[in-house]
Structure 1
Amino acid sequence: MKVLETGNGARAMKGGGLDPQRVSFDKIPIIDLEPMFTGDEAARQKLAQELRKACTEVGFLYIKNHHVPKDVIDVTFGVAEAYFAEPDDVKMENHVSKSKNNRGYAALLEENTDPTARGDLHESYDIALDVPADDPDVKAGKVLYGPNQWPAGKPEFRKALETYHAEMLTLSGRLLHAFALALDLEETYFDQLVGKPLATLRVLHYPPQFGEIDDRQIGIGAHSDYECFTILAQKEGISALQVLNAAGEWIAADPIPGCFVVNVGDQMARWTNDLFASTVHRAVNRSGKERYSIPFFFGPNYDALIEVLPSCIDEAHPAKYPPITSGEYVNGRFMATFAHYAAQSEANADTAT
């Protein structure tokens, strides 16, 4: 039994290679999000109960009727594919090391989500909430805020990613209301904490892996996500995502047309005292094709306190986690995951002293 260290503690994984157990999709539930747009109170409460069940039992779900236009998704996949086809020297012009805020391009093997592994076999481009360099929070050194960097001469790339990011912010607001209802809170409970969210959009390219594969070097190693939740678009017809169930077995989370995958992140798990499961997952691209995916990581404001909700504590269930700010938690996880980020943070600290 392998043990994986995450930001919320150790998780156990059974051995047995890289092939997931392939089960019917109802093992990862499909939630119809339409009531959060047009439903009455009764419909929203029904959805909330379905979401609560999915978050407590699985930690992963599909959502349909999310109201994100298909053409926004398709265009973003298209510009991502074109961008990653560029020569390496062109992509390196916007390397993340040139950003103080982890924005831009990262090459193959530069990320290492599983500390026992040897690097992740994907390349990425990250943007987040675009905060000007003269913003008080940026000037105060809240390093996860700041401006995005963009490839020169590619306005279509910038437009597509900014449009997608805006759509994800809107969808995240609806989802956050559903999460509040699922926790028996007022629907708008979290709104005061997300006026300036740590909301990162990534486009990812995973080359295929053939033959015998070293499980220490796969598309993305076993990990849990850091924020409240993740909304993932997967290109249809290419399987790679695998989810770790409570028995330590890997379950396939294949693309479903018209659906996003949503998973609980560490911050939501901490808020709920692990009532909602921050589920470990990985990606192994053995499809024989290039894989592209678009995850959106949504978390609260930098200074928002992640403290166990009163409704998730009682005498039998004391708080498992000490309070921590959103920025402090995510920054710590980035330091452990991205070599360039850790080196840059150390350099910035040396400069400050």
Structure 2
Amino acid sequence: MDRQPGLSVRLKLTLSYAAFLMVAGVMLLAVVWLFLLRYVPDYLAPSAISIPDRSDLVAAFGPKAGAMLLLLLLFGLVGGWILSGAMLAPLVRIKNAARLAADGSLSHRIHLEGRNDEFRELADTFDTMLARLEAHDAEQQRFAANASHELRTPLAITQTLLDVARNDLTRDTGELVERLHYVNTRAIDLTEALLLLSRSDQRSFAREQVDLSLIAEEAAETLLPLAEKRGLTIETSGDLTPTIGSHPLLLQLTTNLVHNAIVHNLQEQGTVWVKTSIRPRAVVLTVENTGETLSPQLLLTLTEPFQRGTGRIRTDHAGVGLGLAIVKSITRAHDGRLTLTRRPAGGLCVTVQLPAAPSLDARSS
């Protein structure tokens, strides 16, 4: 936005300090003048004794008062310029940091010294914002790179299959169509997952009162055939847990968690526990499963996009690598908190804590 140039804040403060000092000086001189006038007559008759009258007082007091006011003006300008510069020094550092951030440098921090005051709070808030922006920017760069890789893979496979079919006209087209169908399905699943992730990040969804316990039962019932096929058991329990949010997104969140608990479980005789509970001003969904022991390093990356619990090895149950990333995004969009914990006996425990619905919150408090 183009704006007309104006006075700097430092110059405005300097003029304000000088003006205030001048007003105070004029008022002080006015008080002195009025006090002296009370004891000096307007005119004295000629006499042998020389006593100053009011005209003599004016002649003696006027020049000195003018000189004093000029001195106060100079003192106010110089002192105001120095004081305003010292006061605005933190603001200059914040301005320089903002310019660096606008130019794309998000690694710079202000680190303002001194005791806590308004400028210190502003600088700390700005540093926190820069840290979050830097982390978000790095996450988006990793996401863009991984998404490009994941989207390129099915396209490259499709191109290879088509090249082979074109060079070998005697090849069975049924097998080719089947493989192309599989690759295309994975590409569609990946695209839909990316769209869902983007939708939850933008928080562009309608909110209503939903019950997490009913959503958990629906997700468990939907995925029960997959669990039985793998020889696993799903156990659901818990209380009514009303919250405010999007039913489709929360169902997607719960389905992702239960599906992840099924496919990353033991080969047989495994268990998945789905539980809902109530806490003060919050409702909690917990999905826990048996499985292999996870390393702390792997646990930190599970919610990153395109990260899989079994690495990047593709198996029959390898998803698109966005399951827990979508869970994290949906949780954040609902102002919730996601916690991942390793089970000592092996497996994973995922806890999603969401704000309770107002009615439940009023009863619990």
What's the TM-score, normalizing by structure 1? 0.24
- Which protein is richer in strand relative to its size? 1
Q: Which has the higher contact order (CA 8 A, sep 6+)?
A: 1
Mark the structure with the bigger radius of gyration: 2
